[in-house]
A and B are shown apart, each in its own frame.
Chain A
Amino acid sequence: MIFLYSFLFCGLVCLIGQIILDNTNFTPGHVTGLFVVIGAFLDSFGLYDKFIKWFGAGTLVPITSFGHSLIHGALNAAEDKGLLGLLAGMFSLTSVGIVAAIVFGFILTMLFKAKD
């Protein structure tokens, strides 16, 4: 069942994104930026954690989970270090994704040429 829920959740988020893209003059940059803010907002009530529990790893794939991991890491660190922890822990969970994107992107850019 968790596979179906993953499919439905990720599909639904993409569907909302596509509806926004088609009916407003937002660019993909606007949509992804908006979704990250929504993800961070949903996790400030702990709601996104419940989504992850209910719907499985499909919730970690859309860009909304990026906002969720940012605030989650920040709040985890804030438990130990107080307000300084908010700054220290911000990237603790998302660094996997950001570093992977930077490193793979750079290495592959060195290896391949742009196609015209």
Chain B
Amino acid sequence: MNKERYKQLTDKIVPKENKVKNAITAFLVGGLVGLLGQIIVFVLENNFDVAHKDATSIMIVILIFIASLCTALGFFDNLVSKAKAGLIVPITGFAHAMTSSMIDYKKEGLITGIGSNAFKLTGSVILYGVVSAYIFGTIRYVFFGG
């Protein structure tokens, strides 16, 4: 079977993903996560007298904990495959990627499994974040004085 024929056949069988529906789901789910973040900050500031800076940090910790726990319990993957970018782009995606790469390689041991694979997916975020922040920061500091 040549390649074109193969592609025609698979195109027929593989269900087409509805891009509009995906986009709306991502918008709604992502928006709800952002709204949840704002609600947590609001409650912490007004009901627990936490300073604004600390409240945002605690909010990040809470979201990361929820995402890590849901990943460890095993149902976050299902949610991600439904909501897609709505859960991947917020900080929940970062926690999900970290926890799932650790838990997937757990059976290979503490060092060669968990240790060396912990940053397998999140490594790119940290690497390119740091490199780009360093370059942009240097440019701004040298040319515009910080």
Contact = CB atoms under 8 A, between A and B. Distances in A.
Instruction: Tell me if B's interface is mostly helix, strand, loop or mixed.
Output: helix
Contacts of A71: 133, 136-137, 140
Nearest to A45: B140
A7 B31 contact: yes
Given A7-B31, A21-B84, A104-B99, A115 B74 contact: yes
B68 A29 contact: no
Interface string A28-42: 110111011101110
B60 A18 contact: no
A33 B88 CA distance: 11
Most buried by A among B23, B34, B42, B107: B34
A100 to B, nearest CB: 5
Range of interface residues on B (Cβ < 8 Å): 35 or more
Given A12-B27, A36-B128, A104-B65, A97 B91 contact: yes
A14 B104 CA distance: 26
A90 B37 contact: no
Contact of B26 (A15, A60, A96): A15
Contacts, number: 250
A15 B118 CA distance: 28
A116 to B, nearest CB: 10
A90 B85 contact: no
B37 A78 contact: no
Interface residues of A, number: 68
Given A21-B84, A57-B56, A78-B146, A102 B37 contact: no
B134 to A, nearest CB: 6
A96 B125 contact: no
A23 B29 CA distance: 20
B136 to A, nearest CB: 4
A50 to B, nearest CB: 16
B36 to A, nearest CB: 8
Given A75-B141, A96-B60, 13 more contacts: A6-B35, A18-B26, A39-B129, A40-B133, A44-B137, A59-B34, A61-B90, A83-B141, A86-B138, A90-B134, A97-B64, A106-B114, A108-B71
